[in-house]
Amino acid sequence: MKFDPARAIQNLHQFGEFGGVNPSITDSSTFTFLGEKTMEAAFHGEAEGCFLYSRHWNPMNKYLSDALASLEQTESAWVTGSGMAAISATILQICNSGDHIVSSAVVYGGTYAFMKNWLPKYNIEVTFVNPTDIDAFKEAIKPNTKLIYTETMSNPLLQISDIPELSKLAKAANAKLVVDNTFTPMIFSPKLLGADIVVYSMTKFINGKNDMVAGAICADQSFINSLIDVNSGTAMLLGPVLDPLRSSNILKNLHTLHIRMQKHSQNAMFLAEKLKEAGVRTIYPGYPEHPQHELMKKMMNDDFGFGGMIAIDLETPQKAAETMEIMQSKDVGYLAVSLGYFKTLFSASGQSTSSEVPADLQLKMGLSPGLVRFSMGLDHNMEITWKAIHESLKEAGIIK
């Protein structure tokens, strides 16, 4: 029987200090101790059940972290002020000067920029490879490789990484496998597939409202402890903590995630089929023709579909821009970056969320300059949505 992440969230028993059905929000930056020795022990990470300072732990952040650990089936988790904070803190905790990373070349633009432009300043080398080419990962590994990095579903080309095979490579190289699961919460459980650490931008599907930025790191207890060590932890020393009020909001939204992922996926599948029938070049892993369709079916959890993300190729930036502007005028959704919102969002990835990736590498990756990424919303009547999209495509001269 496959793991059911929705049941894992449903089974949480978290109450407020006065019996509230929602955990109480603790908006204190610092916490009292009954004695000096307990404070000293807390600074050394030896005091159980004590809170030291909200940059280290806050009760509300702990509630959300525990829920995420349950969702991902990791021993622990820690929440950050953004997805990039989760990614950068994780990488910097694992890697030191002189170390090497093997990463998917098809990743979020901010992740690519961090690895390509920022890490070399600290003598950390990164080799970028095709996320679907296991042999390329294997050949890129060096004696000083400390980390293999990928996205379960790549941004924006929607390729699927073979997590079990990458896990084998990481273990053989004594490296950590870090997986960004932002596009596919509940659909995939990377830890159960062999990942060591799972990172998220909770800004997207997990929160689902586009009213905040937040991130998460899900891992074993020893790694989370190292992250928040007062002397050497990147999360403690760089200070990317999430505000407890935001944690409270995300925790409540987490309980509807399974319903939202089902609807996002249902709507995306509907639109993908209509686009296919209309002759528009469409990328969607729910298609049997998608190169990693069978791999996805093998790895995915039941009942949550193939995800809410679609990409279509309109060939040129001009055609993409015109089509998106028409769609926005017809209330299909918003011309905006980000994803996982209750309204449909669309953007030309090469000119937006992947703009940090050089144009020549975009083409090498297979990223068309006219590629438009859709994050399907929670539309109730997709026939109406499709009619507006169809009219937009006709007005832009994409279809007849």
Query: What is the tens place of the pLDDT at every residue in 176-206?
Result: 999 999 999 999 999 999 999 999 999 999 9
Residue 37 pLDDT class (50, 70, 90 cuts): confident
pLDDT at 368 over 90: no
Q: Does the structure show a pLDDT above 60 at 354?
A: no
How far is residue 362's CA from residue 226's CA, in Å, rounded to a whole number? 36
Question: Domains in the chain, please, with CATH?
Answer: 5-254 (3.40.640.10), 257-395 (3.90.1150.10)
pLDDT band at 315 (very low <50, low <70, confident <90, very high): confident
The mean of the pLDDT values for the chain is: 94
pTM score, whole prediction: 0.95
Cβ neighbours of 114 (radius 10 Å): 19
| Span 384-391, average pLDDT | 97
| Residue 212, CB-side half-sphere exposure with 13 Å CA sphere | 19
Give the pLDDT band (50/70/90) at residue 1: low
What mean pLDDT is predicted for residues 161-183? 98
Q: What is the pLDDT of residue 350?
A: 61
pLDDT tens digits, one per residue of 48-65: 778 889 999 999 999 999
Average pLDDT over residues 220-224: 97
Q: Which of 354, 7, 347, 300 is nearest to 181 (CA)?
A: 300
Q: Tell me how far apart the alpha carbons of residues 250 and 215 are, in angstroms, rounded to a whole number.
A: 11
C-beta pairs of 113-120 under 8 Å, 24+ apart in sequence: 113/356, 114/84, 114/87, 114/88, 115/91, 115/149, 116/356, 117/356, 119/91, 119/95
Mean of the pLDDT values across residues 283-291? 96
List the single range of 1-10, 302-311, 388-397 with lowest mean pLDDT: 1-10
The pLDDT score that the predictor gives to residue 355 is 59
Torsion on CA atoms 306, 68, 254, 242, rounded to nearest 10: -120
Q: What is the pLDDT of residue 237?
A: 96
As a whole number, mean pLDDT of residues 34-38 equals 83
For range 107-119, the mean pLDDT = 94
- Predicted pLDDT at 48: 73
- Section 314-331 average pLDDT: 95
- Among 302, 299, 248, 232, CA closest to 44: 232
Average pLDDT over residues 365-381: 90
Q: What is the mean pLDDT of residues 110-124?
A: 96
Please tell me the predicted confidence (pLDDT) of residue 125.
98
Going by pLDDT thresholds of 50, 70 and 90, the confidence category of residue 366 is confident
Q: What is the pLDDT of residue 343?
A: 97
- Judged by average pLDDT, the poorest of 231-245, 255-269, 337-351 is 337-351
